[in-house]
Amino acid sequence: MATALSVNLNKIALLRNSRTGNSPDPLAFAKICLANGADGITVHPRPDQRHIRPSDVFSLSQLLKQIDDIEFNIEGNPFAEDLGDYPGFISLVEQTQPDQCTLVPDDNNQLTSDHGFDLTSCGDSLAPIIAKLKSQGIRVSLFMDPDPEQIKLAHQVGADRIELYTGPYAWAFESQSAELESIFQSHCEAAQLALDLGLGVNAGHDLNLKNLPKYCKVPGLAEVSIGHALTIDSLTMGMDLAVSKYRNICQGQ
């Protein structure tokens, strides 16, 4: 089974934001990604607008709605409220109507997403948000650790998919840790449980050209979202070739 590749453009926007103007343009790089086989585009608009801005989300939404079979995935904290010209995460999602919304438990002070939801504490608050988005035809995925009990709760609160947080797997792979196989197995078991419950399985965080081939063996892996490593690779080989290499791995080539 092939795995879809969704390219996260946050780091393109981060580079753009280091100067005035709009170079590099996330919209232009989205087009490069799609021309070289990406199956979708992911953005994670945070309230501090450190990278992707609401204006980028609107522009990308308009572009991607014109292209068949390309998925737009917006990820972020469902409880992030409006701040300045940031309209609040859920409001932004409702205005732009992506194909998928990945809800992530990151706060404004986090450098990056680094853990999955604890649904024992926030499941009741998430359930109506999930139902509201699904009623608008938006697929909802929850950013999760490979914890069986939490994945069962993800099903109970109405999620369509989970996105497994792959940071610890990537770190274990990079350091050649003795724990790599047990971590990988925990992801395989979590994915199989999700599939058994009727949930789709996505994954993301620190996946790269070295660790992705192994991770693509996770059962039923529908989609990976990759941005940081792919952007780094594009500095040496170009975005077009980087996207092609990642997509070939996802396609089992």
Residues annotated as catalytic are 44, 75, 205
Long-range Cβ pairs for the range 87-90 (8 Å, 24+): 87/54, 89/45, 89/47, 90/129, 90/132, 90/133
Q: Which residues of 33-72 are buried (b: 16+ CB within 10 A; e: fewer)?
A: bbebbbbbbbbbbbbebebbbbebbebbbebbeeeeebbb
4 secondary structure, DSSP code: E
Task: Report the chain's terminal Cα–Cα distance, integer Å.
Answer: 12
Contact 29, 231 (CB under 8 A): no
For 156, half-sphere exposure in the C-beta direction (CA atoms, 13 angstrom radius) is 12
For 222, half-sphere exposure in the C-beta direction (CA atoms, 13 angstrom radius) is 18
Backbone angles phi, psi at 13, to 5 degrees: -70, -35
